[in-house]
Amino acid sequence: MHPFDTATLLETLPDGSFRGHTSPAYANMVGPFGGVTAACLLQAPMQHSQRLGDPVALTVNFAAALADGEFSIVARALRTNRSTQHWAIELSQGGEVAASATAVFAVRRETWSAPEAAPPANLPAADALTRAPLIGRPAWTRHYDMRFARGAMPDAFDEQQQLDSVSQVWVRDEPPRPLDFVSLAALCDSFFPRIFVRRRKVAPIGTVSMTTWFHADTAMLQAQGVRHVLGVARALNFRNGYFDQSAEVWGDDWQLLASSHQIVYYRD
Amino acid sequence: MHPFDTATLLETLPDGSFRGHTSPAYANMVGPFGGVTAACLLQAPMQHSQRLGDPVALTVNFAAALADGEFSIVARALRTNRSTQHWAIELSQGGEVAASATAVFAVRRETWSAPEAAPPANLPAADALTRAPLIGRPAWTRHYDMRFARGAMPDAFDEQQQLDSVSQVWVRDEPPRPLDFVSLAALCDSFFPRIFVRRRKVAPIGTVSMTTWFHADTAMLQAQGVRHVLGVARALNFRNGYFDQSAEVWGDDWQLLASSHQIVYYRD
């Protein structure tokens, strides 16, 4: 079993709620990697008996650092329409909410379609880049193969402030695993904190809220398979304890698979 | 009383829930303008007795078209930490959830801060532009003064597809009203559907989910007062029934007040 599937495995309990367990493979500095928590919160409606369609929108709010160990998830279908379904999801540990989420699922049909944004031009292919070093990095980074064209985690936190926080990175699960909605939700949180790239200074940080739009459908994810996707991430603003991040995830056929936005707490 | 305050007026009931009423002043094509619904969902924790700090993040999911008339809102503080507070909010009509939201509030303190994005350069001032016409537009547009530098609603839906959907617009409440978090939340939904700008073709649309990050604090909003703010909106992708929109709202001192992202359903 792939470590990602172990980490996002949810047992359905008789009352319709779910039980999961944090995974040492995806440990972060404190508690588990937030991307896997987001993936677990999406996994609950994905495997719910009332599920309609595929995810279009996912918002995850990280209310507290998860403790290593068991957690429970309750997913409620708030409203099911003809082609859309709205979910409210809560993850608890010891009777306290540690994360909450909302998700919108939809049955999509073919319509007029057009891209507007484009991925960066003239990027080296993933094969032409070397994998980012893992020394001194938390466990979860070992389960992503990241190849930075620009804006890698700094080798040294030398406090040389950069002009921007833009990263361009080819990334896939390690070991390779076919892309699906749940792994894409996690991958959208795999970009290192923008403040580290911009400021090159270590500081406590924590994502407080993260929203992902899924532009892809199942067929597009299946066509992408195990190959690297291209992530592009940047911040708009760092101000008084909170900065934002906007990221796009592109397939290697240059189709937009997901766009994801988060707001992150930081201390000086 | 300003029509916006009437539209977002919530009565606190003895059980701690809230009662509101849709307002004809902010009527849209079908039901009320979504921005005012978002504002009502934020208003509930804003005036809740347990509130800590100011809003940092707001996600609103529009599950169904609201009917004109009364609605009830329940806001639950899921978790209150030392400096952050997580809310789950539901708006119901006739016992059915019509919209849900999550919000993160925080007590912010001064830290190292730095902008990264910048507003468009060389834009004409609001005074140098004329107010967008209102003929044939739904009621809510009469309560915004919008002055487009670029990407106005097309005068004619001539199906001449445009290269992009970018809009640059000075906007304020009409009549003028001092900016606050609740009015800013509504204003973030005041940009016309990107697909109308891009495709110049009328089609049924509806926002399904919308996330706003508040970069500003109360002092910045008070300093902005009643003057126009600058909105910049664009889409990344239109695909099989859903397109996204990213918008930034800048103060006229070029500080970023909010960034807002939504995903919108459309039919051909």
CB–CB of A241 and B208 under 8 A? no
Give the closest-approach CA distance of B245 to chain A in angstroms. 10
Q: Where are the alpha helices (DSSP H) in B130-259?
A: 181-187, 194-199, 218-224
Residue from the list A63, A79, A248 with its beta carbon closest to the beta carbon of B79: A63
Please give the average per-residue pLDDT across B31-40, as a whole number.
98
Check pLDDT > 90 for residue B136. no
Query: B40 by DSSP, 3-state: which?
Result: helix
Give the closest-approach CA distance of B39 to chain A in angstroms. 18
Q: Nearest to residue A46, comparing CAs of A9, A92, A78? A: A9
| Chain A residues close to B261, C-beta within 8 Å | 211, 213, 246, 259, 261
| Chain B residues close to A266, C-beta within 8 Å | 111
- CA B139 vs. chain centroid, Å, equals 16
Tell me, what's the pLDDT at A30? 86
Contacts with B135 (C-beta within 8 Å, 6 or more apart), sequence order: none
Q: Where are the alpha helices (DSSP H) in chain B?
A: 3-7, 34-46, 181-187, 194-199, 218-224
Give the CA distances from residue A77 to residues A81, A182, B71, B241, in Å, rounded to whole numbers and listed in that order: 11, 18, 20, 22
Cβ pair A195, A244 in contact under 8 A: no
Q: Which residue of B has its CA nearest to A198?
A: B116
C-alpha to C-alpha distance for B162 and B195, rounded to whole angstroms: 10
Tell me, what's the pLDDT at A268? 87
User: Quick one: tokens of A178?
Assistant: 């076919």
Q: What is the band of B247 on the pLDDT scale with cuts at 50, 70, 90?
A: very high
Tell me, what's the pLDDT at A156? 87
Burial code (b: 16+ CB inside 10 Å, e: under 16) for A23-55 equals bebbbbeebbbbbbbbbbbbbbbbebeebbebb
C-alpha to C-alpha distance for A250 and A126, rounded to whole angstroms: 13
Whether B236 has its CB under 8 Å from any CB of chain A: the answer is yes
C-alpha to C-alpha distance for B227 and A113, rounded to whole angstroms: 37
Q: What is the band of B182 on the pLDDT scale with cuts at 50, 70, 90?
A: very high
Please give the average per-residue pLDDT across A235-264, as a whole number.
98
C-alpha to C-alpha distance for A182 and B215, rounded to whole angstroms: 29
Please give the average per-residue pLDDT across A181-206, as a whole number.
97
Q: Which residue of B has its CA nearest to A164?
A: B116
Whether B174 has its CB under 8 Å from any CB of chain A: the answer is no
Q: Nearest to residue B179, comparing CAs of B223, B119, B233, B232? A: B223
C-alpha to C-alpha distance for B21 and B69, rounded to whole angstroms: 5
Give the closest-approach CA distance of B106 to chain A in angstroms. 10
Q: Nearest to residue B55, comparing CAs of A206, A208, A41, A204? A: A208
Residue type, B183: S
Q: What is the band of B30 on the pLDDT scale with cuts at 50, 70, 90?
A: confident
Q: Which residue of B has its CA nearest to A119?
A: B236
Backbone angles phi, psi at B222, to 5 degrees: -65, -40
Whether A117 has its CB under 8 Å from any CB of chain B: the answer is yes
C-alpha to C-alpha distance for B250 and B216, rounded to whole angstroms: 10
Tell me, what's the pLDDT at A135? 84
Report angle CA B152, B156, B157 to the nearest 5 degrees.
Answer: 95
What pLDDT, in 10s, does the model give residues B58-116? 999 999 999 999 999 999 999 999 999 999 999 999 999 999 999 999 999 999 999 99
Whether A77 has its CB under 8 Å from any CB of chain B: the answer is no
Q: Nearest to residue B220, comparing CAs of B179, B164, B261, B166? A: B179
Tell me, what's the pLDDT at B207? 98
| Chain A residues close to B110, C-beta within 8 Å | 240
| Chain A residues close to B86, C-beta within 8 Å | 61, 63, 97, 100
User: Quick one: tokens of B123?
Assistant: 């834009």
Whether A215 has its CB under 8 Å from any CB of chain B: the answer is yes
What pLDDT, in 10s, does the model give residues A16-70? 999 999 999 999 988 999 999 999 999 999 999 999 999 999 999 999 999 999 9
Cβ pair B195, B202 in contact under 8 A: no
Chain A from 43 to 62: CB within 8 A of any B CB: 56-57, 59, 61
Share of chain A above pLDDT 90, in %: 96
CB–CB of A237 and B259 under 8 A? yes
Cβ pair A185, A42 in contact under 8 A: yes
What pLDDT, in 10s, does the model give residues B205-228? 999 999 999 999 999 999 999 999
Sign of CA dihedral B58, B18, B87, A58: negative
Whether B164 has its CB under 8 Å from any CB of chain A: the answer is yes
Residue from the list B90, B213, B217 with its beta carbon closest to the beta carbon of A244: B213
Residue type, A214: F
Whether A246 has its CB under 8 Å from any CB of chain B: the answer is yes
